[in-house]
A and B are shown apart, each in its own frame.
Chain A
Amino acid sequence: MRKLCISKILYNMGKFALRVFALSVLVFLISRLAPGDPLYAYYGERVEKMSVADQEQARERLGLHEPLFTQYARWLQAAFHGDFGISYQYKTDVKEVIAARIGNTLVLGGLGFLLIFVFALGLGLFCAWREDRTADRIICRIGTVTSCVPEFWLSLLFLLVFAVWLDWLPGSGAYSVGEEGNVADRAAHLILPLAVVVLGHLWYYAFQVRNRLLEEVRADYVLLARMKGLSGRQVLFRHCLRGALPSYLSMMAVALPHILGGTYVVETVFSYPGIGTLAYESARYQDYNILMVVSLLTGTLVIFCNLLAGIVSGRIDPRMRIQNGAGGGEVRNF
């Protein structure tokens, strides 16, 4: 039994490593084959004043003259030793550039994810409970509208209303100048981008919960549960929720990187110094080393969360759990 578990873990880890490797090859090739000159990232406008010989020399120094395969092998070898190269744009270690910003994105995306996770479940439950009543209908209409409005437009609208016209909240950055350690100030800067992130995603997940629950409510077992003397609400919470929860959890596990990475547009509009703005800039200026690490981070998260989703739903749903041999009553059917 134990041996089985270890081999299973090894198998999953191997699969994980293979996927990350394939991802790194893909991202490497795509970024290098895209048109554009990475020297621009390094030297900016000065490139145009450099002679061809100077440009060649610079390329050689940055290791950009070698064949793609050699470049990749070099990158991989260095990466194994924890060296991801330097950022052409910032001229410092990639890790430093990313470390300075990843916290901001984790706070924005992480908080956004938590809020979406809780509110989507609550809203979905409420709508399923009040199916086709006035409250449910109104929420469905509003939800459809909010989830269809593009994030950048909603961001601009919020900026205009709350930052410019009303002047209630700051509209850009993660903190005011000189207030880096001030939690209240950071929180105030977080409200608008967070609101956009949550509003942009919330209804999609809430609607899934609602529909999944309505499927459960129509199942036969609900009649038996009502027969026991449970009210409609009790049946929803005690019986239907249990049936809908595994698929919700696995859906949210897959959604985690989507929401974390989906802050790109919002970060850009609000000039929020996170990974999103960094990724955008690095792709624009061919800052290969940054792009590699940012893409790999996001990709690894996606792969990891997909694995997690499989494990989570397998543990919760008894039908999957017991078939995987993890327990349950061992009674023969006679």
Chain B
Amino acid sequence: MDLLEVENLSVSFYRPEGEIEAVKNVSFSLGEGEILAVMGETGCGKSVLCKSILKLLPDIAKIKTGHIIVRGEDIIGYSEKQMRKLRGSLFSMVFQNPMTALNPCMSVGEQIVEAVRLRQPGLSGRERQQRASELMYLVGLSHPEERAKQYPFQLSGGMAQRCVIAIALAAQPLVLFADEATTALDVTVQAQILDLFLELRKKTGMSIVLVTHNPGVAARTADRVALMKDGELTGIGDVEEIFEEIMHQQNFI
């Protein structure tokens, strides 16, 4: 049984101008410990796909049809309260721009500790700090104690993204959604962050859904690639297969 199965998922935005179909009839599955790259041009519905699985869509967007099955249980009818539990534990997400994803008015330590507290309410204050330091160490931040006192604007993009990843890991997720997680970073930092994802998968055994429009990122990191175009899933398969196909069609980006 796969960890996550998405069946015939359709999502629409209802705007005054009319209905916009952002995701059309998408089905795929994700195995345990697998890295799946969702690849496609900007605006093809990659992000909406992730956010609809997490039910973090704005109010004007509705899931029309489909099933989202996590370990055999359909979560499509879950209430906001039930989803909140899933978000803090089963799923987690890393966002495109690390500089705006962190709250500018809270130290990064506070923000990581908050995530730890929500996932493990039983821990004492000291244990939480300890756990936050471990997480920061895990994502490759040196001097965690001093670093924790800093505010996001004092960090570089790469370090801020590591902090965001530490927050995501505090949830001890089974599936990590990385929504263009390396797009805003420069190339060397991109490579470091991608290596970090590979390393984290090895250490924690979590699955990663890597949303990107960069074929290089997909080829370097993913086990399988799903191609999206205009809200539809046009192909899914092993990296070699898909890139072979792309070479023939020359239709990417």
Partners in one complex: yes
Tell me whether A331 and B88 are in contact (CB under 8 A): no
Please choose the segment from A193-201, A218-226, A303-311 that sits at the chain B interface, where 4 or more of its residues have CB less than 8 A away: A218-226
Once A226-B56, A322-B151, A331-B146 are accepted as A-B contacts, the answer to whether A220 and B87 lie under 8 Å apart by CB is no
Residues of chain B from 161 to 202 with CB closer than 8 A to chain A in the complex: 164, 167-168, 170-171
Neighbour of B102 across the interface among A224, A230, A319, A322, CB < 8 A:
A224
Tell me whether A328 and B149 are in contact (CB under 8 A): yes
Chain A residues with CB under 8 Å of B80's CB are: 231
Please choose the segment from B64-72, B93-101, B234-242 that sits at the chain A interface, where 4 or more of its residues have CB less than 8 A away: B93-101
With an 8 A cutoff between CB atoms, is A150 at the interface? Answer: no
Chain A residues with CB under 8 Å of B85's CB are: 229
Chain A residues with CB under 8 Å of B115's CB are: 228
Complex CA gap A242/B103 in Å reads: 9
Please choose the segment from B14-22, B152-160, B207-215 that sits at the chain A interface, where 4 or more of its residues have CB less than 8 A away: B152-160
Chain A residues with CB under 8 Å of B97's CB are: 220
With an 8 A cutoff between CB atoms, is A239 at the interface? Answer: yes
With an 8 A cutoff between CB atoms, is A333 at the interface? Answer: yes
Tell me whether B93 and A227 are in contact (CB under 8 A): yes
With an 8 A cutoff between CB atoms, is A110 at the interface? Answer: no
Please choose the segment from B1-9, B30-38, B104-112, B223-231 that sits at the chain A interface, where 4 or more of its residues have CB less than 8 A away: B104-112
Taking the closest CB of chain B, its distance from the CB of A328, in whole angstroms, is 6
Complex CA gap A242/B95 in Å reads: 22
With an 8 A cutoff between CB atoms, is B62 at the interface? Answer: no
With an 8 A cutoff between CB atoms, is B131 at the interface? Answer: no
Chain A residues with CB under 8 Å of B170's CB are: 228
Neighbour of A230 across the interface among B118, B153, B156, CB < 8 A:
B118
With an 8 A cutoff between CB atoms, is A318 at the interface? Answer: yes
Tell me whether B159 and A319 are in contact (CB under 8 A): no
Taking the closest CB of chain B, its distance from the CB of A299, in whole angstroms, is 33
Once A229-B87, A328-B151, A328-B154 are accepted as A-B contacts, the answer to whether A224 and B101 lie under 8 Å apart by CB is yes
Once A223-B56, A242-B105 are accepted as A-B contacts, the answer to whether A319 and B156 lie under 8 Å apart by CB is no
Once A229-B88, A230-B118 are accepted as A-B contacts, the answer to whether A329 and B168 lie under 8 Å apart by CB is no
Chain B residues with CB under 8 Å of A330's CB are: 146
With an 8 A cutoff between CB atoms, is B92 at the interface? Answer: yes
Tell me whether A225 and B150 are in contact (CB under 8 A): no
Chain A residues with CB under 8 Å of B129's CB are: none
Tell me whether B87 and A226 are in contact (CB under 8 A): yes
B interface, by DSSP: helix, strand, loop or mixed?
helix
Tell me whether B103 and A319 are in contact (CB under 8 A): no
Chain B residues with CB under 8 Å of A230's CB are: 84, 114, 118
With an 8 A cutoff between CB atoms, is B89 at the interface? Answer: yes
Once A319-B151, A328-B151, A329-B149 are accepted as A-B contacts, the answer to whether A225 and B92 lie under 8 Å apart by CB is no
With an 8 A cutoff between CB atoms, is B143 at the interface? Answer: yes
Complex CA gap A334/B114 in Å reads: 26
Once A318-B151, A331-B147 are accepted as A-B contacts, the answer to whether A228 and B95 lie under 8 Å apart by CB is no
Complex CA gap A219/B101 in Å reads: 8
Once A319-B151, A328-B154 are accepted as A-B contacts, the answer to whether A228 and B167 lie under 8 Å apart by CB is yes
Neighbour of B87 across the interface among A227, A319, A322, A333, CB < 8 A:
A227
With an 8 A cutoff between CB atoms, is A243 at the interface? Answer: yes
Tell me whether A220 and B95 are in contact (CB under 8 A): yes
Tell me whether B118 and A219 are in contact (CB under 8 A): no
Taking the closest CB of chain B, its distance from the CB of A26, in whole angstroms, is 39
Tell me whether B147 and A221 are in contact (CB under 8 A): no
Chain A residues with CB under 8 Å of B164's CB are: 224
Tell me whether B101 and A318 are in contact (CB under 8 A): no
With an 8 A cutoff between CB atoms, is A317 at the interface? Answer: yes
Tell me whether A317 and B105 are in contact (CB under 8 A): yes
Mask, B135-154, CB within 8 Å of A = 1, is: 00000001100111111011
Complex CA gap A227/B171 in Å reads: 9
Complex CA gap A83/B89 in Å reads: 72
Tell me whether B147 and A329 are in contact (CB under 8 A): yes
Taking the closest CB of chain B, its distance from the CB of A111, in whole angstroms, is 31
Complex CA gap A59/B160 in Å reads: 74
Once A227-B56, A239-B103, A242-B105 are accepted as A-B contacts, the answer to whether A319 and B88 lie under 8 Å apart by CB is no
Once A228-B88, A229-B89 are accepted as A-B contacts, the answer to whether A322 and B154 lie under 8 Å apart by CB is yes
The 6 closest A-B pairs by CB, nearest first: A229-B88, A329-B149, A220-B100, A221-B103, A228-B115, A331-B146
Interface set of B (CB-CB < 8 Å, partner A): 54, 56, 80-81, 84-85, 87-89, 91-93, 95, 97, 100-107, 114-115, 118-119, 142-143, 146-151, 153-156, 159, 164, 167-168, 170-171
> Known pairs A224-B167, A229-B171, A331-B147. 20 more at Cβ < 8 A?
A219-B100, A220-B95, A221-B100, A221-B101, A224-B93, A226-B56, A226-B87, A227-B167, A228-B115, A228-B118, A229-B85, A230-B114, A242-B105, A242-B106, A243-B104, A243-B105, A318-B107, A329-B146, A329-B154, A333-B156
**21 pairs across A/B with beta carbons < 8 Å?**
A220-B95, A221-B100, A221-B104, A223-B93, A223-B95, A226-B87, A227-B56, A227-B87, A227-B167, A228-B170, A229-B87, A230-B114, A239-B105, A243-B104, A318-B107, A319-B153, A329-B146, A329-B154, A331-B146, A333-B155, A333-B156
